[in-house]
Amino acid sequence: MTTPPTAHPRDLTASDDEPYLSFWRERHLCTLTTLRPDGSPHVVPVGVTYDQETGLARVITSGSSKKARNVLAAGPEGARVAVCQTAGRRWATLEGRARVRTEPDRVAEAVRRYAQRYEREPRPNPARVVIEIEVTRALGHG
């Protein structure tokens, strides 16, 4: 029986992490984990984009969604969250502090990046917001 490789924290500024970063540019369904006010996890499927230059992961959603409400409930300092994707033996998780942003330019940038990664425009949504995650830790085997 072979032992699967262990996952170590990733240095997303290191050149040898290009395969990991490339994995975040491929089209994959992801999950977002937020915490409900009672502390239990809320895990939902989402599309995620990661911007290495700014260190931001982005999730577009409706402002009334449970995930957005969970992030808002954490207060102005933001909520601890994780986004994850898998494909066979490859997996990647980004952890960080999330905040809901409503500024039109930030939402438009998130929509642009989503359309680029997922090769389709998201449906129109006048209540759209973006959950921006300041990535503080990256794990995985990509």
| 16-54 pLDDT per residue, tens | 688 889 999 999 999 999 999 999 999 999 999 999 999
Strand partners, 59: 131
What pLDDT digit, counting tens, does each position of 66-94 carry? 999 999 999 999 999 999 999 999 999 99
Structure pTM? 0.90
